[in-house]
Chains A and B, each alone.
Chain A
Amino acid sequence: MITLLEAGLLVFIVLSALMTAILRDVLAAIIVFGAYSLGMAVLWIVLRAPDVGLTEAAVGAGIMTVLLLVSIARTTRLTGIELRPVEINWGVAALCGLFVLAILATVPALPDMGQTVGNPVFGEIYNHYVTMAYEQTHVENVVTAILVAYRGFDTLGEATVVFTAGVAVLTVLRREVDA
């Protein structure tokens, strides 16, 4: 059953997502998106995912907002027309509505929230990780154990992605020097 806190958070998240779509002023959209990320971070904590919540608060609400602000500082913040909300293109909105309906059509087939019976996520792999993680890795936090031990190569791949993105950003932003 939904709690008041969850309901409030979900309403806040959907409303702030709508606000980012409607606001024409980029700076306002970025600030609302920061609030959206923070709402998400709190929701992760409520859903018992503290590791994800901390990462979302630091990376999603923190680094992401800074990146967005730096990029508008280096480009432009549209002036003059930004107080009017974006005119909604109803054709595109209808298309997105159809997309949402298509996804909603699959929702009844999903297991009830919080139920483990008939939920394939709670299978053999779950049991193995939860019962064996401490014995095999001596790390009490199972999330950390999976991240750096069982799926260590996955995390190495992640580091490679971050490195590649860093190199790509530097390449894109490098001033062209006359040879």
Chain B
Amino acid sequence: MMELLTTHYNYVVFAVLLGIGLYMIIDDENLVKKVIGLNVFQTGIFLFFITISVRDGGLPAVGKGSESAYVNPLPHVLILTAIVVGVSLTALALALVVRIHEEYGSIREDVVVEVLEDE
């Protein structure tokens, strides 16, 4: 068990971050904090991708050939794309939050539901 922890610690943190993000998405009443939860969940997945790309003694893949051991560049590329797409998603989600606030006067989910029920 301890041995597993010393060789897989990043994967444990990955699982914990996913759990924290999921909790914020499900339970937090504040819509802006739901969006932050989405981002925590997302960065947890980034941690998984970057961790599988690591090799002991590996250097960043910069150079003219394979004279030294490089870490795997492909997951890095995928995560670069994912970060930018994640920001686009966050921007759109926050725009919707601002719009919801204009319409219902609150960024709290429970208040918005109350206003909807009163109508």
Contact = CB atoms under 8 A, between A and B. Distances in A.
B92 to A, nearest CB: 5
A117 to B, nearest CB: 10
Interface string B30-50: 101101110110010011001
Contacts of B101: 74-76
Interface in B8-25: 8-24
Contacts of B35: 68
Contacts of A40: 43, 46-47
Contacts of B64: 134, 140
Contacts, number: 253
B59 interface: yes
Interface residues of A, number: 91
A91 to B, nearest CB: 9
Interface string A1-32: 11000000010011001101100101001100
Given A26-B30, A142-B61, A172-B99, A20 B73 contact: no
B5 to A, nearest CB: 9
Contact of A96 (B12, B26, B43, B71): B26
Contacts of A134: 63-65
10 contacts: A14-B13, A48-B58, A51-B76, A60-B43, A64-B90, A75-B107, A121-B72, A143-B73, A147-B77, A165-B91
Top 8 A-B residue pairs of the complex, sorted by shortest distance between their CB atoms = A165-B88, A142-B61, A100-B19, A114-B56, A75-B101, A71-B94, A112-B7, A103-B15
